[in-house]
Amino acid sequence: MELSSLTAVEIVQGIQSRVFTCKDVVKACLKTIYEKESSLHAMLFVADEGALKRADEIDAAAQAGQDLGPLMGVPVIVKDNICTKDMPTTCASRILENWTPPYDATVVKSLLNAGAVILGKANCDEFAMGGSTENSAFGPTMNPWDVSRVPGGSSGGSAAAVAAGYAPISLGSDTGGSIRQPASFCGIYGMKPTYGQVSRYGLVAFASSLDQIGPFARTAEDMKLALSVICGFDCHDSTSEKRPAPQFTFNDAPLAGKKIGILSRLVAGKLSADLQSCMDVQIEKCRQNGAEIVEVALPKALEYGLACYYILAPAEASSNLARYDGVRYGMAYKDAHSLLELYVKTRAAGFGPEVKRRILTGTYVLSSGFYDAYYLTAQKVRKVIKQEFASAFEQVDAILLPTSPTPAFKIGAMSSPLEMYMADVFTIPINLAGLPGISYNAGFNDEGLPLGMQLIGPRWSDAEILDMAAYLGKETEGRIAEGGIR
């Protein structure tokens, strides 16, 4: 039995029934990381000593018959834009290269309180800005199914790590698709919960009205476990909502009697052939399992969502990233003669090209004389998109569409930033409307690359869409990517 390929559910059972120890599991996961990391570069920090020490504590508790929680002894990997007290948190940026936060993010605390072992920090696009992990200041992550391809992004390291068997669960963040798209490229589940469902306290802010933390896992049961631990109210995040915790349960026939919305006319011509046929098969599968298929119209979301997002997200980012100034933490330009020089030179040296592009775009659209033409217009479009989804969800229980227009593309294939932005067309509108979305694996193309489909539901339908995705993704779930690793 390969311990590093076990699911979280199997690990908890194995440790509690003393079939193996937490240390055995952690050692096996670390071994997998060391074997594969030179091919994948999914990690920015591996907490080997800390994880082994924590494993000893968990094993002592298991020995004493204690139950430490639903993730007892489960190795988890955390995206490097989520604060961890004992580990660096760089956001894959030079400007935070040596930064270790003085506190744990609420989700990290929740994981630890549930008995998890944090194995390390995952690579990502710098400050979560990108769709391929190529924007990491420390080098790209490779897709474990084909190392000549990207794992998606921005949470590409988190997705690749779970797909490759580094850990059964990881956390990412999703501002415009940054969990769902890498999940689809890496053949696993990835979910952006409803805005307000999971605390972002300790998530390094990118675009606060859109950011959401969520999990990756190879099986739906592990998704359920992770979500049940991280969902919930937190007074430290003013967008966190006080409401009953979602009850994640799996039904035998979750699609029976459900109305599933599709966008076949709107997505026609936007998809690669393999995803088109994948979508057709999935629609048929929904129908065969008792769902009624309804064509819904989201014309503005798909046509104008991207332009709207690429005004609003950079605007918020330009404000959120103003805090990196070389004074309180992170990199500082050494020979500054004035405070202004410290600011401008630190930021020039510390930020990479994509982050600079977004800060400049955001500054411009918020600047005097242009605010109405860009920012205010985009906020109106956001309202229209939100209303469009509200009307759609009067007709249907969930919407099914591909997560991304294509499977994982080759490293370096995107010739311009704008071309890269276009790949977010199916994921961005969900963030603009604050909805939950989940990507599940719906099969593989002729080259063995995973094909991801996305289910979107109304606000607070997280448990329902996970239930449906679990059913639709059951056939191909749980596989460890071995394909491209040398």
Partner 1 sequence: MPRLSAEEVIKVGKLARLDIAPEELDSLATHFNDILAYFSKLEELDLSAVDPFTMEDTQPIRLRDDEVAAYDNRDGILDQSPSRDGDFIRVPKIGGDK
Indicate the burial class of 485 (C-beta count within 10 angstroms; 0-12, 13-18, 19 or more): middle
Cα–Cα distance between 312 and 141 in angstroms, integer? 27
294: CB partners within 8 A, 6+ apart: 259, 260, 261, 262, 395, 396
Cα–Cα distance between 163 and 201 in angstroms, integer? 27
Closer residue to partner 1, CB minimum distance, 56 or 341 = 341
Closer residue to partner 1, CB minimum distance, 354 or 397 = 354
Is 452 within 8 Å of 180 (Cβ atoms)? yes
- Cα–Cα nearest to 216, from 176, 189, 187: 189
- Least distance between partner 1 and beta carbon 426 (Å): 17
- Least distance between partner 1 and beta carbon 365 (Å): 8
- Least distance between partner 1 and beta carbon 406 (Å): 20
- Least distance between partner 1 and beta carbon 30 (Å): 27
- Least distance between partner 1 and beta carbon 296 (Å): 20
- Least distance between partner 1 and beta carbon 245 (Å): 17
Closer residue to partner 1, CB minimum distance, 166 or 310 = 310
Task: Kindly state the helix (H) or strand (E) to which residue 60 belongs, with its residue range.
Answer: helix 48-63
- Least distance between partner 1 and beta carbon 466 (Å): 21
Q: Which of 79, 192, 224, 258 is catalytic?
A: 79
Q: Which of 155, 173, 178, 318 is catalytic?
A: 178
Closer residue to partner 1, CB minimum distance, 214 or 362 = 362
- Least distance between partner 1 and beta carbon 375 (Å): 9
Q: Which of 4, 110, 132, 154 is catalytic?
A: 154
- Cα–Cα nearest to 441, from 160, 135, 187, 150: 187
- Least distance between partner 1 and beta carbon 212 (Å): 12
Closer residue to partner 1, CB minimum distance, 63 or 238 = 238
Cα–Cα distance between 483 and 485 in angstroms, integer? 6
Closer residue to partner 1, CB minimum distance, 315 or 451 = 315
The residues binding partner 1 (CB under 8 A) are 99-100, 102-103, 195-196, 209, 235, 238-239, 241, 300, 303-304, 306-308, 310-311, 318, 322, 325-332, 336-345, 347-348, 351, 353, 356-357, 359-365, 367, 373-374, 376-384, 386, 416-418, 434, 459
**123-to-53, 71, 91, 414 alpha-carbon distances in Å:** 23, 23, 8, 20
DSSP string, 192-231: EPPTTSB--TTBPPSSTTT--EEEEESSHHHHHHHHHHHB
DSSP one-letter code for 104: -
3-state helix, strand and coil shares in percent for the chain, rounded to the nearest 5: 45, 15, 45
Per the structure block, which two tokens stand in for 187? 């053949």
Closer residue to partner 1, CB minimum distance, 259 or 356 = 356
Q: What is the dihedral of CA 74, 75, 81, 83, to 10 degrees?
A: 70
Cα–Cα distance between 82 and 282 in angstroms, integer? 34
Is 292 within 8 Å of 260 (Cβ atoms)? yes
Closer residue to partner 1, CB minimum distance, 245 or 360 = 360
The DSSP bridge partners found for residue 440 are: 453
Q: Quick check: is 178 catalytic?
A: yes
Handedness of CA 108, 114, 119, 122 (dihedral sign): negative
Cα–Cα distance between 29 and 37 in angstroms, integer? 12
Closer residue to partner 1, CB minimum distance, 61 or 344 = 344
Indicate the burial class of 429 (C-beta count within 10 angstroms; 0-12, 13-18, 19 or more): buried
Cα–Cα distance between 123 and 170 in angstroms, integer? 12
Cα–Cα distance between 320 and 200 in angstroms, integer? 14
| Catalytic site positions | 79, 154, 178
